[in-house]
């Protein structure tokens, strides 16, 4: 059997974390191909149903990355993200989705190295938990 | 009007409590207008109809059928399909048919666990011989069968095409009346419409915001003395108003009870629970010395609260079944 290759969706805010991914790229640092990047203007743009939808559509893990507290380009977007994420973790747990499948990280534009580390860690973590396997339509 | 031109109407129930059938009689004198122009040709809850009466109808013979209740076993599914075939217009009537409603909350568990709980563990159940329902029983008179219960409760729309939705647990007499008026006059809204408001409930609630929507702790309605003028959310009481469709006249908040979301999500919102989570997260602000997690730990059972009526219709539909 071939090794499980998780699908991981990463929402990256344009001003910090996406720039970090970019700088990782320009300095030729490799990160696993399991990450599907979605660029958003601010981590605060990521509404809770985006996360649920990602899981529904087959993601094994979801990341939100934004600017460090105090650094959000829109001042408070990431504080909102933090509060949502805290409540989402409880909700996902109730849905039977392992809390590790959803992670929030602050990664600034200059942290290309950390970006790569976080992505690699996430892939390893999800590989160890296994595939998601949601049974949305279970009849009988 | 001659009998020949009379409309044919049906009312059916699947997984529901019967409240929706009751509310159809609350339209008072309008029921006289209705039976003036329509014959009720199928209503097993109120009159003696058999499935065969339905099977013998021609396809599309019923002009309108009001279908209440969620779909949670093979019998519900079979009847939903049969009724769909026999009706020109199928209306999902009430929160259970529209969103799964309260029965949809059993999507946090499985059929097996629900049966075990109901027949063996409920403190009010007396079942010393541990009798469990069986799908087939051989009796001297012949073989008896029961419908198969599913792990996952479905909405009507997840099983058959639905033309209109009338939400509410139960729908209000006013909305039922306007649905009946539309049926009688033939002036039905565009197919797929929800017969209710289309904004958020906060829009028709007259409570006012006094502290710029800041929530510092969570309380149950009975744990605090409610200021009847102020928005309940600001008073620490989770209210589904921001994530719920208007149209009921804010009947719960009017009597200082928080909305629980029985009208489902407003237009443009796919997942009512996620929308409410977002609304709460944006107003919570921990007081000095407390963390966000401290505040959220005071919120009991977010899933049951956020998806009180719409779990079966939500993005994830149910909790993960570990197999
Ligand atoms: S949150 Fe509830 S109490 Fe506050 S305005 Fe909205 S419906 Fe009214
Ligand atoms: S206030 Fe909310 S729970 Fe109460 S009837 Fe209206 S929609 Fe339903
Ligand atoms: S812009 Fe980066 S978190 Fe808001």
In chain B, the domains with their CATH numbers are 3-102+153-185 (3.40.50.700), 110-149 (no CATH), 198-323 (no CATH)
Q: Do the beta carbons of residue A98 and residue A129 sit within 8 Å? A: yes
Taking residues A58-87, what's their average pLDDT? 96
Q: Coil, strand or helix: which one is B192?
A: coil
Taking residues B31-57, what's their average pLDDT? 90
Taking residues B269-288, what's their average pLDDT? 94
Looking at A130-134, B167-171, B237-241, B253-257, which range is the least confident one?
A130-134
Instruction: Label residue B26 by pLDDT band (50, 70, 90).
Output: confident
In angstroms, what is the span from residue B207 Cα to ligand 1's centroid?
6
Mean pLDDT, chain A, rounded, equals 93
What phi and psi values does residue B316 have, to the nearest 5 degrees?
A: -90, -15
Residue A136 lies in a domain: no
Pocket test for ligand 1, best of B211, B221, B241, B245 (most atoms within 8 A of CB): B241
pLDDT at A44: 96
Q: What is the ipTM of this complex?
A: 0.93
Q: Do the beta carbons of residue A6 and residue A61 sit within 8 Å? A: yes
Q: Which residue of B has its CA nearest to A83?
A: B281
* pLDDT tens by residue, B279-318: 999 899 888 899 999 999 999 999 999 999 999 999 999 9
Residue A134 lies in a domain: no
Q: Which residue has the tokens 């007396």?
A: B126
Instruction: Label residue A137 by pLDDT band (50, 70, 90).
Output: low
The domain in which residue A88 lies consists of 8-42+60-129
**Which residues on adjacent β-strands are paired with residue B166?**
B93
- Rounded distance between C-alpha atoms, residue A81 and residue A8, angstroms: 19
- Rounded distance between C-alpha atoms, residue B170 and residue B146, angstroms: 28
Residue B29 above 90 pLDDT? no
Taking residues B223-241, what's their average pLDDT? 95
What phi and psi values does residue B243 have, to the nearest 5 degrees?
A: -115, 20
Residue A115 lies in a domain: yes
Q: Do the beta carbons of residue A93 and residue A99 sit within 8 Å? A: yes
Q: Do the beta carbons of residue A118 and residue A108 sit within 8 Å? A: no
What phi and psi values does residue B305 have, to the nearest 5 degrees?
A: -80, -45
Instruction: Label residue B106 by pLDDT band (50, 70, 90).
Output: very high
Q: Which residue has the tokens 């997840």?
A: B158
- Rounded distance between C-alpha atoms, residue B214 and residue B237, angstroms: 11
- Rounded distance between C-alpha atoms, residue B236 and residue B121, angstroms: 35
User: Percent of chain B beyond pLDDT 90?
Assistant: 80
**Which residues on adjacent β-strands are paired with residue A105?**
A65
A129/B contact by beta carbon, under 8 A: no
Which residues in chain A have Cβ-Cβ distances shorter than 8 Å to B70?
none
How far apart are the CA of A34 and the nearest CA of chain B, in angstroms?
23
Residue A54 lies in a domain: no
* pLDDT tens by residue, B144-203: 999 999 999 999 999 999 999 999 999 998 998 888 888 888 888 999 999 999 999 999
- Ligand 2 pocket by Cβ (under 6 Å): B 201, 244, 248, 250-253, 259-263
Taking residues B7-18, what's their average pLDDT? 95
């Amino acid at each position: 059997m071939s090794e499980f290759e998780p699908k991981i969706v990463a929402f990256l805010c344009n001003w910090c974390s996406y720039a970090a991914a970019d700088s990782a790229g320009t300095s030729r640092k490799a990160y696993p191909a399991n990450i599907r990047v979605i660029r958003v203007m601010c981590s605060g743009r990521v509404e809770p149903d985006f996360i649920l939808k990602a899981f529904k559509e087959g993601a094994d893990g979801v990341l939100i990355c934004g600017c460090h507290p105090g650094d959000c380009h829109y001042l408070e977007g990431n504080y909102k993200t933090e509060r949502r994420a805290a409540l989402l973790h409880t909700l996902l747990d109730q849905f039977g989705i392992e809390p590790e499948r959803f992670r929030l990280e602050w990664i600034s534009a200059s942290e290309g190295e950390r970006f790569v580390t976080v992505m690699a860690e996430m892939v390893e973590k999800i590989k160890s938990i296994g595939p998601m396997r949601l049974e949305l339509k279970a009849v009988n | 009007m001659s009998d020949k031109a009379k409309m044919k109407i049906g009312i059916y129930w699947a997984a529901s409590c019967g409240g929706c059938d009751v509310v159809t009689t609350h339209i008072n004198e309008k029921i006289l207008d209705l039976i003036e122009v329509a014959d009720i040709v199928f209503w097993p809850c109120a009159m003696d109809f058999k499935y065969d009466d339905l099977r013998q109808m021609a396809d599309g013979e019923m002009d309108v059928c009001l279908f209440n209740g969620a779909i949670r076993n093979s019998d519900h599914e079979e009847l939903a399909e049969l009724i769909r075939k026999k009706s020109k217009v199928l209306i999902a009537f009430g929160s259970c048919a529209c969103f799964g409603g309260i029965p949809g909350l059993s999507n946090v568990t499985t059929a097996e666990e629900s049966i075990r709980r109901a027949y063996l563990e409920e403190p009010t159940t007396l079942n010393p011989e541990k009798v469990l329902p069986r799908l087939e029983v051989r009796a001297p008179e012949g073989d008896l069968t029961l419908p198969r219960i599913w792990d996952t409760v479905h909405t009507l729309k997840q099983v058959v095409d639905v033309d209109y939705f009338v939400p509410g647990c139960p729908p209000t007499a006013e909305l039922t009346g306007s649905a009946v008026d539309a049926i009688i006059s033939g002036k039905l809204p565009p197919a797929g419409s929800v017969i209710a408001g289309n904004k958020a409930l906060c829009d028709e609630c007259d409570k006012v915001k006094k502290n710029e929507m800041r929530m510092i702790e969570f309380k149950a309605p009975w744990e605090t003395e409610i200021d009847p003028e102020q928005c309940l959310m600001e008073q620490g009481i989770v209210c589904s108003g921001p994530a719920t469709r208007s149209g009921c006249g804010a009947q719960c908040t009017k009597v200082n009870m928080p909305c629980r979301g029985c009208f489902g999500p407003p237009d443009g919102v796919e997942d009512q629970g996620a929308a409410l989570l977002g609304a709460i997260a944006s107003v919570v602000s921990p007081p000095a010395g407390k963390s966000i997690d401290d505040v959220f730990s005071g919120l009991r059972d977010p899933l049951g609260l956020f998806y009180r009526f719409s779990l079966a219709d939500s993005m994830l539909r149910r909790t993960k079944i570990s197999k």
